[in-house]
Amino acid sequence: MLRIQKLTKRIPGGPKILKDITFDAFEGDFIAVMGGSGSGKSMLLKCLALQEDWTSGHYMVDGKDVLKEGFMAKLQHKRQVAYLEEKPFLYPEKTGLKNVIIGAVGHTPAWRRWTGMMRNDDYMGAMDLIEKRGLLDKAHTKAKNLSGGERQRMAIARALVHGAKVLVADEPVSGLDPHAADAVLGELKSLCKEQGIIVIAVLHQGEWAERYADRILGLNGGELVLDVYGRRLTQREKLLLEQ
């Protein structure tokens, strides 16, 4: 379980970008984050993935505040939170499989990334993840020849290769056609329901959020202005995100 208490982020010498954000997330939750441009959505995900320092707040993971723990505990938490970018980088000349195995910068020794050498258990683990994403027939296809949706699903496999329990995804379906977007979001949903992974995804389109997420968090000007469970947003709530 994650408990985010009063997360505040201020850029040194600049304004507060996130202000006292507080919410809990439980195993298997699919949480959509919505808000206008510049409302702080990406910064929230980066803070959750510990890619950005918090100015203040408490980040409770299974009862412990990871911000107060030592370097190793922070590193361990970082490994448990996978960060999926809007357009994840895959090495275009390498196969989907190799990308899944060696692409996770920071988790794989540099010499193995450069040489592409793989251990048998790396291979089996990656193939298993690829198969679960329904991409077995694409495992040996070069990344440059994968469709946008396939690339995104391959990137999901890569994000999970180190056993993440939380997946934060920044606009994972932006630029995809509706069919591919459905496949990606269906994939994220099944990770929540079947494996208990917490997914926190920035989704621009309300209809995706309403169809797939259990809960919608709304940001405006760095503040949490909405926390809505299992229902469509009202017109008034939609306006809160725009003002």
Ligand X SMILES: Nc1ncnc2c1ncn2[C@@H]1O[C@H](COP(=O)(O)OP(=O)(O)OP(=O)(O)O)[C@@H](O)[C@H]1O
Q: Does 134 bind ligand X (CB under 6 A)?
A: no
CB-nearer residue toward ligand X: 43 or 228: 43
Q: Which stretch binds ligand X (CB under 6 A): 21-29, 41-49, 97-105, 185-193?
A: 41-49
CB-nearer residue toward ligand X: 52 or 210: 52
Q: Are 95 and 141 in contact (CB under 8 A)?
A: yes
Candidate residues 7, 31, 32, 35; the one interacting with ligand X per rule CB under 6 A: 35
* CB 173 to ligand X: min, Å: 14
Q: Does 220 bind ligand X (CB under 6 A)?
A: no
Q: Which stretch binds ligand X (CB under 6 A): 39-47, 56-64, 93-101, 131-139?
A: 39-47
CB-nearer residue toward ligand X: 120 or 243: 243
Q: Which stretch binds ligand X (CB under 6 A): 31-39, 131-139, 160-168, 172-180?
A: 31-39
CB-nearer residue toward ligand X: 14 or 70: 14
* CB 127 to ligand X: min, Å: 34
For ligand X (CB under 6 A), the number of binding residues is: 11
Task: Give the DSSP per-residue string, the chain.
Answer: -EEEEEEEEE-TTS-EEEEEEEEEE-TT-EEEEEE-TTSSHHHHHHHHTTSS--SEEEEEETTEETTTS-HHHHHHHHHHEEEE-SS----TTSBHHHHHHH--TTTS-HHHHHH----HHHHHHHHHHHHHTT-GGGTTSBGGGS-HHHHHHHHHHHHHTT--SEEEEESTTTT--HHHHHHHHHHHHHHHHHH--EEEEE-S-HHHHHHH-SEEEEEETTEEEEEEESSPPPHHHHHHHH-
Q: Does 175 bind ligand X (CB under 6 A)?
A: no
Q: Does 38 bind ligand X (CB under 6 A)?
A: yes
Candidate residues 17, 82, 129, 200; the one interacting with ligand X per rule CB under 6 A: 17
Q: Are 214 and 31 in contact (CB under 8 A)?
A: yes
Taken as a whole, the chain contains a residue count of 243
Q: Does 12 bind ligand X (CB under 6 A)?
A: no
CB-nearer residue toward ligand X: 93 or 242: 242
Give contact residues for ligand X (rule: CB under 6 A). 11, 14, 17, 35, 37-43
